[in-house]
Amino acid sequence: MDQPPVVLITGASAGLGEEMARQFAALGYDLALCARRTDRLEALRERIVAEHPGRRVSVRALDVTDDAAVFAVFQQFADEWGRIDRVIVNAGLGKGAPLGTGRFDANRATAMVNFVGALAQTEAALQIFRAQGHGHLVLISSMSALRGMRRSMTTYAATKAGVAAIAEGVRSERIPGVDVSVIYPGYIRSEMNEHVTQKTRFIVDTPVGVRAMVTAIEKRKVKAYVPAWPWLPIGAALRVLPLSIVRKMV
């Protein structure tokens, strides 16, 4: 009997990563989950196994800014499962401050997690995919990546633009057997943005937003703005409108 496909998700202890884990389990995937907070991961594993008897879930601690740990943990998962069919580069940080206001520490932390951490995860995933001859690399970007953003969003948006560029570069390489997707979520309620959700237009609840993400991932779309409404037309507009109008939109 064929074994279920295995999906590895980073940043799986909360927010979008946690909900992706639950939804992929419902679709029949076995799960390799990692994040810094192992207590949250263990609770998630127990919940998934209770909801979906027979699903197998493996969890490991991982700080994606620890390069050596990224490579070690990914390989440990690959050794444990015998393969990894999909890697979702999801771990992220939303700290930030306007540039030049004395909070370089916050902006640097965001850059290290969101971009350098994503680079390490991509390297580790592709080493596994090249060796086994197949795999689906998914990088979680953001609608904010489409244009430069102001104030506390400047660094975050820049890192997510970098993530999208990594995805496009890898896809351009056409590695045999490897598919690459980049997902641009709009405003989805999560632990990262819980302090601003009441002020944000177009925001959707986590299960709804993640369902759109998972659907796009399952279709192996090259890129997807999710949820499609209203973010598909907004994404098209963001790319061409003057910054003076972009500032009022997002």
Write out the catalytic residue numbers. Answer: 156
Residue type, 146: L
Tell me the three-class secondary structure of the chain, residue by residue: CCCCCEEEEECCCCHHHHHHHHHHHHCCCEEEEEECCHHHHHHHHHHHHHHCCCCCEEEEECCCCCHHHHHHHHHHHHHHHCCCCEEEECCCCCCCCCCCCCCHHHHHHHHHHHHHHHHHHHHHHHHHHHHHCCEEEEEECCHHHHCCCCHHHHHHHHHHHHHHHHHHHHHHHCCCCEEEEEEEECCECCHHHCCCHHHCCCCECHHHHHHHHHHHHHCCCCEEEECHHHHHHHHHHHCCCCHHHHHHHC
Are the C-beta atoms of residues 143 and 234 closer than 8 Å to each other? yes
Exposed, middle or buried: residue 136 (CB in 10 Å: 0-12, 13-18, 19+)? buried
